[in-house]
Amino acid sequence: MTELTQFIVSGLAIGMVYSLIALGFALIWKSSSVANLALGQIVLLLSWFSYSMLVEAHLPVWAAVPLVLGFAVLLGWGIERFTLRPLIAQPILSLIAVTLGIGYFIDGLVNLKWPQSTGALPRIFPTDTIRLGHAVISQEYLWVAGICLVVFLGLTLFYKYHRMGIAMRATADDQMAVQACGIPVTRIFSMSWIFACVVAAIGGILISSIGGISYGLVETGLGAFSVVILGGLDSFVGAMVAGPIIGLAESLGGGYLTPYVWSGIREIVPFVIIIIVIMFKPYGLFGERRIERI
Amino acid sequence: MSSLPCGVRNYSYAEDMAIVRTRTQWVLFVGFLLLLFTAPLYLGNFWLNKINLIGITLIAAVGLNILIGYCGQLSIGHAGFIAVGAYTSTILSSKLGLPFPVALLSAGLMAGAIGLIFGVPSMRVKGFYLAITSIAAQFIIIWIIRHWTGMTGGNYGLTVPYASIGGFIFNTEIRQFYLIIGIAALCVFFSKNIARTRLGRAFIAIRDNDLAAEVMGVNLFYYKLLAFFIGCFLAGIAGSLLAYWTGTVSPDNFRFTDSILYVGMLIIGGLGTALGPILGVVFIRLLDVGVLQLTPALQSAFPGMPGGFTTGIAPMLFGLVIIMFLIFEPRGIAHRWELFKASYRLWPFSY
């Protein structure tokens, strides 16, 4: 029972970080129909950048985090402006391949700047334990879950009430109509990339403050695709609901199956879920089913 | 056939279908083959080694070209299927002692079978969903290889004996050169011909619009899975040759980034052309050689470089090249070559 509580709490917290990263994907997909396959590498790069700020430059947290977020804004803007903008209205293969190219580039960049294979962020959150019945839970997980909830809430409010948020939703709905209304669609694309990178930065900091930084973060970022696939590609609600489900599956599967199968089963859980969902329910739980016409 | 040299006419169907048409083309073609197959006479082991790597990569790229370029089914897990081929042939030859040709063919069949499994979702989904499926395939395959230690040796990998047919052992770079280049040439010829048959035309119809193809009577299920099988079969062959050529297999040789690089090679060379994979593979591998030769010099010239310069610069360059090609020449080098040929033929009145 105590084990179970621990698995559930840590699974839910990690799952919410997944939701956060997946949200970054859904933002871009909804506004510009670009599938960002460089997500894993972006998370890795931003985590290493925060490592640089926090550990190598010895900045305090209140100074480092805004710097990291600023860098994320710059990164998102740069990627959209210099690689996606010239490719507007190109076939989907080009759009997917260009994000792969970006991922490859960032991979090299990370290798170049931070050749060491692992790094540890200082503990940002208090690590005192909390007792829940018999279970002992690190306070970190609660902080992570709390921050995720705050970001979700902020984004939801932004989308619902802010002028830009409304414009972004409108773009997702009908790009032509938005253009006809005089809203600069390119700025919307730019904004969605910036948002996605900022959200990825927050997710990266949260997840690497718990588990450290390693190349496995790319797999974590790619594993976040299981969240998008399960939740439905163009649904924010889907991403928020599916994240904790994936996190739970990973943590419970890793916790209870390890004695019976090969160790390290939790690394592979998201990918197995991807295959199962695509085979049986390809548009996910909340995804919009598109009807194709010739 | 986009344009033929001036004065070439077709008097029979066979003439129309011939790959090599004019006397000049014959001379160039035979000359190229002669030059290629006498390469060991005037090239040292260093360049033979590079050509062998190019040949193996080419076989895999040709398979991927059939899958992505002709049939339009995006797969970003090609390195995983290559790994399946490499491990199948290694296990068959080192543990069961099967002869090389049997191991080679079973590697292809095994990779093709695994490709069929991961190709099934292509029935219901396409584009991004399919890309994700193939990424998942890559990670699942490599994870199984890493953890099935009893069979695959886990992270340490396995050693592979030399390939041999009859009593002839392919134990030098030159012998392997003839083996690899021979198979690579066969594969290129095979893919060139596939594109011109009923099969290739069905693939192209599916790529251009799969719904329209289905309405016209193309059996989507059969042809999409066949494309997956052929593509992964060639990946398996390439993997098997890679294992025999390097003498070891380990999961680190088949990373996700390699899968990306294969897609990149096709984009740089030109998707859906017979020439594209050749140009793309040669371009990327030569770039690799160039980077490896230049980085030590650069590092000694500028001592202030960060420590990961040697390992980081190549991926950065590859990523940059892929992005540049997509933006400035999405149809690849093969398209530029066609343009050049057309303007050469029409010279001095080219425009």
- DSSP letter for each residue of A30-43: HHH----TTHHHHH
- Determine contact, residues A109/A38, Cβ cutoff 8 Å: no
Which of A92, A279, A292 has the CB atom closest to B211's CB atom? A292
What tokens were used for A133?
A: 């019945």
Q: Which of B65, B114, B126, B132 to mutate to test the interface with A (most CBs of A within 10 A)?
A: B132
Give the containing element (helix H, strand E) for B159: strand B158-159
Same domain, B103 and B225: yes
Give the pLDDT confidence of B276-302 residue by residue, as tens digits. Answer: 999 999 999 999 999 888 888 887 777
Q: Quote the DSSP letter at residue A55.
A: I
C-alpha distance across the termini of chain A, in Å: 55
Same domain, B170 and B302: yes
Sequence-ordered list of residues with C-beta below 8 angstroms from that of A201, at least 6 positions apart, any chain: A46, A50, A68, A69, A71, A72
Residue B23: which domain range?
A: 1-37
Q: Quote the DSSP letter at residue B71.
A: T
Same domain, B155 and B275: yes
- What is the arithmetic mean of pLDDT over B194-202? 91
What is the pLDDT at residue A294?
66
Residue B326 lies in a domain: yes
Same domain, B152 and B281: yes
The count of structural domains within chain B is: 2
Q: Could A115 and B211 be called an inter-chain contact, meaning their C-beta atoms sit closer than 8 Å?
A: no
Work out whether strand B163-165 and strand A135-138 pair parallel, antiparallel, or are unpaired.
unpaired
Same domain, B17 and B59: no
Give the pLDDT confidence of B216-241 residue by residue, as tens digits. Answer: 999 999 999 999 999 999 999 999 99
Secondary structure class of B170 (helix, strand, coil)? strand
Please report which confidence band the pLDDT of residue B137 belongs to, taking 50, 70 and 90 as the band edges.
very high
What residues 6-65 of chain A have any CB closer than 8 A to a CB of chain B?
35, 37
Which ipTM value was assigned to this complex? 0.89
> What whole-number distance in Å separates Cα of residue A36 and Cα of residue A98?
9
Q: Could A271 and B136 be called an inter-chain contact, meaning their C-beta atoms sit closer than 8 Å?
A: yes
- What is the arithmetic mean of pLDDT over B44-59? 93
> What whole-number distance in Å separates Cα of residue B86 and Cα of residue A222?
25
Secondary structure class of B169 (helix, strand, coil)? strand
Please give the residue of chain B at the shortest CA–CA distance from A116: B308
C-alpha closest to that of B127 among B175, B60, B74, B183: B74
Q: Could A101 and B264 be called an inter-chain contact, meaning their C-beta atoms sit closer than 8 Å?
A: yes
Secondary structure class of B125 (helix, strand, coil)? coil
DSSP sequence for A127-160: --EEEETTEEEEHHHHHHHHHHHHHHHHHHHHHH
Same domain, B89 and B166: yes
> What whole-number distance in Å separates Cα of residue A96 and Cα of residue A37?
7
Place of tokens 């060139």: B192
Same domain, B25 and B137: no
Same domain, B156 and B303: yes
Residue B330 lies in a domain: yes
Please give the residue of chain A at the shortest CA–CA distance from B213: A294
Which of B271, B312, B320 has the CB atom closest to A112's CB atom? B312
DSSP sequence for B273-302: -SHHHHHHHHHHHHHHHHHHHHHHHHHHH-
Give the C-alpha distances (Å, rounded to integers) separating B26 from A63, B282, B346: 70, 23, 21
Residue A183 backbone zone (phi > 0: left; psi -120 to 50: alpha; other: beta): beta
What residues 100-129 of chain A have any CB closer than 8 A to a CB of chain B?
100-115
Contacts of B323 in chain A (CB under 8 A): 83, 98, 101-102, 105
> What whole-number distance in Å separates Cα of residue A13 and Cα of residue B42?
63
Please report which confidence band the pLDDT of residue B57 belongs to, taking 50, 70 and 90 as the band edges.
very high
B53 pLDDT exceeds 90? yes
What is the pLDDT at residue B350?
67
Same domain, B141 and B17: no
Give the containing element (helix H, strand E) for B164: strand B163-165
Same domain, B29 and B155: no
- Which residues in chain A show pLDDT less than 50? none
Contacts of A112 in chain B (CB under 8 A): 306, 308-309, 311-313, 316
Contacts 24+ apart (CB under 8 A), B98-107: B99/B164, B99/B165, B100/B163, B100/B164, B100/B165, B100/B244, B101/B165, B103/B240, B104/B163, B104/B237, B104/B240, B104/B241, B107/B236, B107/B237, B107/B239, B107/B240
> What whole-number distance in Å separates Cα of residue A45 and Cα of residue A103?
10
Give the containing element (helix H, strand E) for B331: none
Please give the residue of chain A at the shortest CA–CA distance from B215: A294
The CA distance from B242 to the nearest CA of chain A, in Å, is 23
Contacts of A93 in chain B (CB under 8 A): 68, 72, 74, 271
Same domain, B256 and B332: yes
- Determine contact, residues B125/B136, Cβ cutoff 8 Å: no
The CA distance from B305 to the nearest CA of chain A, in Å, is 9
- The predicted model scores a pTM of 0.91
The CA distance from B52 to the nearest CA of chain A, in Å, is 25
Secondary structure class of B248 (helix, strand, coil)? strand
- Which residue type does B37 have? F
Contacts of A262 in chain B (CB under 8 A): 147-148
Same domain, B23 and B155: no
What tokens were used for B198?
A: 């009923």
Which of A113, A222, A292 has the CB atom closest to B308's CB atom? A113
> Domain containing B43 — which CATH number?
1.10.3470
> What whole-number distance in Å separates Cα of residue B212 and Cα of residue A37?
29
Sequence-ordered list of residues with C-beta below 8 angstroms from that of A28, at least 6 positions apart, any chain: A34, A36, A192, A193, A196
What is the pLDDT at residue B1?
44
Mean pLDDT estimate for chain B: 89
- Whether residue B348 has a cis bond before it, omega within 30° of 0: yes
Q: Could B133 and A274 be called an inter-chain contact, meaning their C-beta atoms sit closer than 8 Å?
A: yes
Residue B351 lies in a domain: no
The CA distance from B86 to the nearest CA of chain A, in Å, is 22
Q: Exposed (0-12), middle (13-18) or buried (19+): which is B325, by Cβ within 10 Å? A: buried
Please give the residue of chain B at the shortest CA–CA distance from A110: B312
What is the pLDDT at residue B307?
67
The CA distance from A132 to the nearest CA of chain B, in Å, is 35
